[in-house]
Structure 1
Amino acid sequence: MKSPNTLLLSSITLAVLTLAQQAQAQAQAGADQAPSPAASKEVQAEIQQVVVTGVAAAGGIRKVDSAFSITTANEEQLKAASPTSTADILKLVPGVYAEATGGQSGANIEVRGFPSGSDSPFVSVQMQGNPIYPVPTLSFFEGSSAFRLDDTIERVEVLRGGPSTIFSSGQPGATMNFILKKGTDTPEGSIRFSTGTGELRRVDLFYGGKISDGWYGTVGGFYRKTNGVRDAGFPADDGSQITATLTRKLDQGELTLYARRTNDKNAFYTGVPLISSNEGRSISEFPGFDPLKGTLMSNEMRRFTVEAGPGKTLNYNLGDGRGLKATVFGAEFDQKFGGWTVSNKFNRFDGDMNTIAMFTGNNPLSMGAYNTAALKANGGTAATATYLDGTPVADSQQVVQAGLWAVEKKMKSFSDELRVSKEWMKDNVVTVGGYFADYSSDDTWYLGSSHLMTAVPNARLINVKLNNGVVVANNGKDGPVFYAPNASYDGRNTAFYISNGWKLNEQVRLDAGVRRERQKLDATISQLTTGDTDGNPLTVYNNNTSMPTGAYTALHRSDSATSFTVGGNYKLGKDSSLFARANTGHTFVSFDDLRNAGSQAKVDDRNVLPTPKIKQIEVGYKTVGQLFSAYINYFHTEFDGIAFQQILANGNILNSVSGSKGNGVEVEFAVRPVRDLTLNLTGNYQDSTYKDNPLTAGKQVQRQPKLQFRFTPTYRVGLGENNAVKLYGTYTQIGARWADQANQQYLPKYHTVDLGALFTFGEKIELRLSANNVGNQLGLTEGNSRLTTGNSGPINARPLFGRSWEASLMYRF
């Protein structure tokens, strides 16, 4: 019997060959004919779509001619997707699964077959081809958190695998590149007002045009305030952003400067109480708690204090959440002269990426059960539980524990990439490049500070005292800070690469590249001890508080690695092609890996932190036509040596090293059976499992569904006098996943339906209505990441947002 992988590869090969034969027949039949005049503007735009991400040439290459997997979305496609955050855009991309239910920031993003437990280690976020921050993820930072969407964005390109191991920051997973609008000879401007769920109030502005001969500029931004779908009683999102570009047209070249300032506060949502049954296969509402719109956060706990040491208390505000207060400045320069092409891109990032948020701990239990456990641990014969106003808490009241964590991160970076290209023989272009990045992060952490609260929306805090004088919970606080390091990290990456692109004939293009990179990390990390912040052993909630000793440990690590790619494209017709690609890539040890491994992080025969290695193979088919468009590819991944960390509810840290392997298929398909009707299908199937670690070998890679897809029909209705309405909707299905490496916490499959309508009145006015999760489907994106096993009964987990709506009115001028 054939293996599933063999059957999968056979099916994909058959499908690709069938489509290829059809496309080749069509191409031969119409080889001497001009493009069909019936092709719509949208199809013509797709045919001419040029991508610049992962391409050696400064001018880019047509998407349909590219020899790699890349998804693009223009301004209208981005708005129609109605993303709840930057990370939520990735629902448009097959092979990527984004858990965007934490709010504007703090998403977990998984890439096809790449093993990751949280954050987004294999997704780099770029603006104008520059990494906003050279490292894609750190503890309490993932790249999409450093970018906010607004009307200054022209399009986004998401490259998966392919040649990305060679260029820019060398990301082997996915590169998400946002392209800003630039000024043109035709001035354009817009103002957009939005309202919606959570008393949303938002205004977006944009203007761009010609300043003088050869000079062009744009400026735009937003202001927004909302209570969000999960109303905590205080604003969930409150902030603004402004972006500007300045472009100078040169003789055979161009220079663009850009700057962006963001000051945004975003509440961060973690798990809520739920009922799990049938070993996690069934999830239902916890009594008295709406999992679609409820949050434990409340005004009662919004402002909280951290007991950081004897006589040292710090004040924080949950409304600050996982915010962004940062400035980005960059430039891109392209110039041709004397047969040479020079390109240079640099970026400077300086900002605060703090996390002030609630993190759920143990599963819900009754007040009586909590009191019994408190008495067993601390002696005494009776416990008294009261709310902060002194009224008693019934023993039957369900309660939960959640930590109010404070993490301060001050981050800076500078990156620069220089490329020089020359056609040294006919149709053969060599590109030589260099990449440099310097980056730092100054961290102060206070993890823990467990608080006891009711298991209801907008929870109330609870005090607990025993009759022997022990104070178990005071102002709700029933646990100390369990991990309080402060540290300074510095990193430097230097890379050199060479790439060669060769057009053999009108049908065949080949390219290959090699990159050599070195990383150096230095860190100064506080040594920790534990102590009692008030010197009173009866106040057990602050005993054993983690705090720095005043002494520091210096750590250092240097690594080098080589990446390689080779690929080719075979044109079947004017607008259809086959491609194949293989690459090897790597990721480096991060600041947090260095801290966790301590002195063992050095490179030698006892090294517990190897440099992860990745191998990828892709075979695909692309075609664009009036009747249908198709982007289909098969992929295979091999991953070796990735380090994992999990912080448990009791403060213990689990570390492990593993690898993975996977096979899968990605599809982007659009059918236009009749005029004004488009049927889109995107998705992927994958079979990715762990290897190398006997505790997890053969288990499904965590958080990644085997099957996910989105089906989006769109229909346009003309209303006469240049007026029209476009109706669209999306059915999304996400397959079952495991929340952990050992495949103990089951996350059942779920589906959602989103709807939208765009009314256009002439060329000036647009009215857009959208609704997400209109069926109020209950689906989990994350289990309790601070527990190692799943169980039936009350649990904490992070579900989808409930039904929400938004309306926006735009005027173009």
Structure 2
Amino acid sequence: MNEPTLTPSADRIANACGGSRQRSRQPLPLTRCALAASLAIVQMSAARAQQAEAAPAPAAPASAAARDTTADQLDRVIVTGSTSLKRTVRESSVAVTVADREDLDRKAPRSTASALELIPGFMVEDSGGEVSNNFSVRGLAGGGQTFVQLSEDGLPVFYTNALADTILKQELMIDRMEAVRGGTSGILTVNGAGATVNFLTFRNKDEREGAIRLTTSDYATRRLDLRYGGDLGGGWYGGGGGFYRGADSPRDVGFTADHGGIVRGYLGKKLDNGGDFSVNVKLVNDHNTFLLPIPVQGLGDPKSIPGFNANTGTMLGPDNAMMTVRTSAATGALSQLNDARNQGVYTRAVAIGYNYEQPLSPQWTVRSKGRYTDFKNDFNAVFSYDNASLVSATDRLNPAKWSDVQGMLNRFAAACGGSCTPALKVTSTGQIIKDASALSSLNGNGLVAGNISADNKRYVREFVNDASATWTTSNNSLTAGWLAFDTHIDKDQNVGATSFLSDVRSNARRLDIVALDAQGNVKGYLTDNSVLQYEAWGEGVNNSHATSNSIYLNDEFKASDRWRLDGGVRFEHYSITARHGIGASDTTIPGAFDSNGTDVDNVMANNNFGGAFSGNFNTIRSSFNEKSLTFGSNYLINDYLAAYGRYSSSYQANGENPVTKISFAEAGIRMKAKGFSGSLTYFRTKYKDARISRQFGTDTTDTAIQGDYNVDGIEVDALWRPVRWAGLNVVGSVQDAKFTGHSVTGPSATTAISGPTAFDGNRPERTPKINYTMSPTFYLPDGKGELSISYHRVGQRFADPGNTIVLPAYGTWNLSGRYELTPTLSLLASIQNLTNTVGLTEGNPRSGFSESSGSNYYFARPILGRNANVSLTLSF
């Protein structure tokens, strides 16, 4: 088949996208790149349309035409959580969700975490930007990513699911998402007892096809996605793609927040008897901005504070994004640059994998797939400090309330002629702020805040391999496999975490606390270029080597045409050698004092580290042998209704620490009828030996209460299309989680307030009782497109396990649409948080949630304000 000439348009795209970056905040700006590329792909589409008279147009893989999506929801064949050769959602005995490219386009996720909102039972906190967001499943505590394994093409991205979303992005090369909750998730992978979410990439082996997508947004996105691949002749196939983008953040950081991308490629050969062998590579070089809690007001009704917009504001900005900080000699350097402006969350990775499958006979098939990943991540960010640091400027200079200010006044009293006056100095400009009126009206709110500048590092080299053999008969499929990991964590460090002072506004300015004499001259500094303390979190210098070997069995038995049984077990041996850096106390910063012990300058903050690395390590060797098991059944009551039940028991590995046990019981029904398909699942989660730690009264160390969380819930996933032009999708869960304590240790263990039952009946932190999305969709005639309006509701949660700190319920409206300009050219658009709702996903993880002294202000992380993007996709 003749192909159109693409070179001139591709050149135009390349030339336009190589131009200068723009940072317009106007609604939906079409940058030079997007404008030129739009013209280019229209020309390409026109060339393709001219050829359509001679040959039928190929299917549009990246933006499929509208269809009756209710027809095949339950008849989709799944590969995740199953070892049989072919099993549909309706026939499975696990809670499974499938989202294809069209579903993902309709959702238009801004991050990988955001895509997980398509899965019932998931609580997602995607307010951090593109990476390092939080998610939990089936009533488990929020604020992390435990019990959920993110996979790519059936292999876990990492053994420990930390920063997996920095190299698993939402891109056009992602073809499909499959998620299994509970059930076989704990058997066929590691650390996925709660769920496995598997992203399947574009691996076309047949007639060549591809797509180009250009995306822009109201936060100045300039993004190009590509994918192309297919038959190369002689049984060979191959292809590749990826994306590159630059974008400002929905929270205006004042610089390009996200830039970089991913390049992928694959090459394979079809073997005899239906076998297949392929290799693949992924290269990542990407930078992201991480969004942290910001100051808001009103515990029961969160809203913006004066001078700071809760929808678009962020403390991060050009003045504080780059800081050179002091580090101890034992780390190998006396200073480092924390660069959240140019580097941000900087990820470099190379992942090389292979996939092999070969039928040996009609009954026997062997499979093996593996991946080696070399991953480096420098997590440059500006973190919020505790809520006690968010105070009025007047109070922060009050020596009666702040001992460090009194210490400064004492230190420089002689230089001031007997008495000094505390004041603020803007670090970048030298402006002195000392009058009571100027302090109380600073930025319209009169506040200052403590912050942390940090560059946390995590460098990982990991090899994973999954080899299995399947024996298949007419009514049974038995798979035995070996899943192995070898993981080297070369760096796991938080060196350079430095506390500093700033004012409170979007793109905050750094501030110094200074001592003034009677004439207003600066005679001494409490701070060092705004720094209150170097190495405020200590210097964590750690590394480890771990191996994991799991043997698993999974059997799927077809007892009759309607009744299926299955069960599985996995035995894991895990071994780790971990080296943890030993801290040093009372460490003097080199050069701070002369040979007589006298401070060499008039700056106090550069005298001592808050914590330092001694140069020595504690070595810990640990191992465990654990098992996971599951069994379930599915019964097709008739051609339209199926019922299933399952029990599973598994665990979460925690490095050298003991594993955490968890079990699920569930029962569900699936129904398919004209214009309707849906699943309704009851589940019970039992999370054993959860640990709640807190300080009571005047205690200086934690009292720990251990107990179990029991969760009862219902998940729903339904699609109803009563008429050709409209449909309704409902995804969500209702759950009730309660804690039951059984033991307590610590200084307050014998008091009534902290006994084993102190938290009985409490809910896990950051987990709502109700969490759902309702999405009516309206379809245009002749499959020309669709318009979807969704309402997402998150119920009330608690920020702490004591259930004393309420995170109010909130709801958001989102809008998305697709329009087919030509048979191969589609326009996609979406608007998120249409009403600019202020909803809190978390409080301040580095603090309690109490209001700061004498004010109604506190740190919390709201959801992103209203933001919109639009893209053009050419399929060819």
Calculate the TM-score normalised by the size of structure 1: 0.88
Question: What does residue 31 of structure 1 align with?
Answer: none
Is 1:103 matched up with 2:129? yes
Q: Is the 8 A contact 2:95 2:182 kept in 1?
A: yes
Is 1:50 matched up with 2:77? yes
| In structure 1, C-alpha distance between the alignment counterparts of 2:386 and 2:477, rounded to whole Å | 59
Question: What does residue 265 of structure 1 align with?
Answer: 287
Q: Secondary structure at the match of 1:264?
A: strand
Task: Measure how far apart 1:788 and its partner are.
Answer: 2.7
Task: Measure how far apart 1:426 and its partner are.
Answer: 5.1
Task: Measure how far apart 1:203 and its partner are.
Answer: 0.8
Q: Is the 8 A contact 1:65 1:576 kept in 2?
A: no
Question: What does residue 309 of structure 1 align with?
Answer: 328
- Residue by residue over 1:162-203, the C-alpha shift from the partner in whole angstroms, topping out at 9 and shown as x without a partner, is 111111325101111011122233221111111112111111
Aligned counterpart in structure 2 of residue 198 of structure 1, from 219, 222, 226:
219
Question: What does residue 410 of structure 1 align with?
Answer: 459
| In structure 2, C-alpha distance between the alignment counterparts of 1:528 and 1:687, rounded to whole Å | 42
- Residue by residue over 1:185-237, the C-alpha shift from the partner in whole angstroms, topping out at 9 and shown as x without a partner, is 32211111111121111111111121112222121111100111111111110
**Aligned residue runs from structure 1 range 105-120, under 5 A:** 105-115=131-141, 118-120=143-145
Question: What does residue 15 of structure 1 align with?
Answer: none
Farther off after superposition, 686-695 or 225-234? 686-695
Aligned counterpart in structure 2 of residue 567 of structure 1, from 617, 632, 638:
632
Is 1:535 matched up with 2:592? yes
Q: Is the 8 A contact 2:176 2:200 kept in 1?
A: yes
| In structure 1, C-alpha distance between the alignment counterparts of 2:346 and 2:738, rounded to whole Å | 35
Aligned counterpart in structure 2 of residue 735 of structure 1, from 786, 795, 803:
795
Is 1:79 matched up with 2:105? yes
| In structure 2, C-alpha distance between the alignment counterparts of 1:476 and 1:229, rounded to whole Å | 27
| In structure 2, C-alpha distance between the alignment counterparts of 1:658 and 1:525, rounded to whole Å | 29
Aligned counterpart in structure 2 of residue 287 of structure 1, from 300, 303, 306:
306
Q: Secondary structure at the match of 2:592?
A: coil
Question: What does residue 382 of structure 1 align with?
Answer: 421
Question: What does residue 451 of structure 1 align with?
Answer: 500
Task: Measure how far apart 1:488 and its partner are.
Answer: 1.1
Aligned counterpart in structure 2 of residue 770 of structure 1, from 830, 844, 847:
830
Q: Secondary structure at the match of 1:89?
A: helix
- Aligned residue pairs total 741
| In structure 2, C-alpha distance between the alignment counterparts of 1:447 and 1:84, rounded to whole Å | 30
Q: Secondary structure at the match of 1:301?
A: coil
Q: Which amino acid aligns with 1:738?
A: F
Farther off after superposition, 166-175 or 729-738? 166-175
Aligned counterpart in structure 2 of residue 480 of structure 1, from 496, 509, 534:
534
- Residue by residue over 1:235-259, the C-alpha shift from the partner in whole angstroms, topping out at 9 and shown as x without a partner, is 1100111111223222222223221
| In structure 1, C-alpha distance between the alignment counterparts of 2:526 and 2:737, rounded to whole Å | 46
Task: Measure how far apart 1:285 and its partner are.
Answer: 1.1
Farther off after superposition, 383-392 or 684-693? 684-693
Is 1:395 matched up with 2:439? yes
**Aligned residue runs from structure 1 range 141-540, under 5 A:** 141=163, 143-169=164-190, 171-250=192-271, 251-276=273-298, 280-309=299-328, 312-319=334-341, 320-338=343-361, 339-363=363-387, 364-372=390-398, 373=402, 374-376=404-406, 378-380=408-410, 381-388=420-427, 389-393=429-433, 394-396=438-440, 397=442, 398-423=447-472, 427-441=475-489, 442-446=491-495, 448-466=497-515, 471-482=525-536, 483-530=538-585, 531-533=587-589, 534-536=591-593, 539-540=603-604
- Residue by residue over 1:93-134, the C-alpha shift from the partner in whole angstroms, topping out at 9 and shown as x without a partner, is 111111111111111111112235x33112111111001111
| In structure 1, C-alpha distance between the alignment counterparts of 2:134 and 2:175, rounded to whole Å | 25
- Residue by residue over 1:294-338, the C-alpha shift from the partner in whole angstroms, topping out at 9 and shown as x without a partner, is 111111122111211268111121132223211122222222222
Question: What does residue 5 of structure 1 align with?
Answer: none
- Residue by residue over 1:331-351, the C-alpha shift from the partner in whole angstroms, topping out at 9 and shown as x without a partner, is 222222222121212121111
Q: Which amino acid aligns with 1:550?
A: G
Q: Which amino acid aligns with 1:490?
A: H
Q: Secondary structure at the match of 1:79?
A: helix
Distance 1:490 1:641, change over 3 A: farther
| In structure 2, C-alpha distance between the alignment counterparts of 1:798 and 1:701, rounded to whole Å | 19
Question: What does residue 784 of structure 1 align with?
Answer: 844
Q: Identity over aligned residues, as a percent? A: 27
Q: Secondary structure at the match of 1:235?
A: coil
| In structure 2, C-alpha distance between the alignment counterparts of 1:47 and 1:72, rounded to whole Å | 9
State which structure, 1 or 2, has the greater radius of gyration over its C-alpha atoms: 2
**Aligned residue runs from structure 1 range 52-71, under 5 A:** 52-57=79-84, 59-71=85-97
Question: What does residue 686 of structure 2 align with?
Answer: 638
Is 1:749 matched up with 2:809? yes
Aligned counterpart in structure 1 of residue 150 of structure 2, from 125, 128, 145:
125
Q: Is the 8 A contact 2:409 2:422 kept in 1?
A: no
Task: Measure how far apart 1:74 and its partner are.
Answer: 0.6
Q: Secondary structure at the match of 1:293?
A: coil
Question: What does residue 811 of structure 1 align with?
Answer: 874
Q: Is the 8 A contact 1:518 1:559 kept in 2?
A: yes
Q: Is the 8 A contact 1:194 1:807 kept in 2?
A: yes
Which ranges of structure 1 fall in alignment gaps of 5 or more residues?
A: 1-38, 595-608
Task: Measure how far apart 1:448 and its partner are.
Answer: 3.7
Task: Measure how far apart 1:789 and its partner are.
Answer: 4.1
Aligned counterpart in structure 1 of residue 733 of structure 2, from 667, 679, 684:
684
Q: Is the 8 A contact 2:167 2:284 kept in 1?
A: no
Q: Is the 8 A contact 2:338 2:453 kept in 1?
A: no
**Aligned residue runs from structure 1 range 546-565, under 5 A:** 546-565=611-630
Q: Is the 8 A contact 1:619 1:633 kept in 2?
A: yes
Distance 1:470 1:689, change over 3 A: farther
Calculate the TM-score normalised by the size of structure 2: 0.82
Distance 1:700 1:335, change over 3 A: same
Question: What does residue 647 of structure 2 align with?
Answer: 582
Q: Secondary structure at the match of 1:809?
A: strand
| In structure 1, C-alpha distance between the alignment counterparts of 2:871 and 2:313, rounded to whole Å | 25
Q: Is the 8 A contact 1:110 1:703 kept in 2?
A: no
Farther off after superposition, 162-171 or 765-774? 162-171
Task: Measure how far apart 1:361 and its partner are.
Answer: 1.0
| In structure 1, C-alpha distance between the alignment counterparts of 2:496 and 2:190, rounded to whole Å | 31
Farther off after superposition, 525-534 or 225-234? 525-534
Q: Secondary structure at the match of 2:468?
A: strand
Question: What does residue 28 of structure 1 align with?
Answer: none
| In structure 2, C-alpha distance between the alignment counterparts of 1:655 and 1:134, rounded to whole Å | 31
Q: Is the 8 A contact 1:115 1:660 kept in 2?
A: no
Q: Is the 8 A contact 2:338 2:454 kept in 1?
A: no
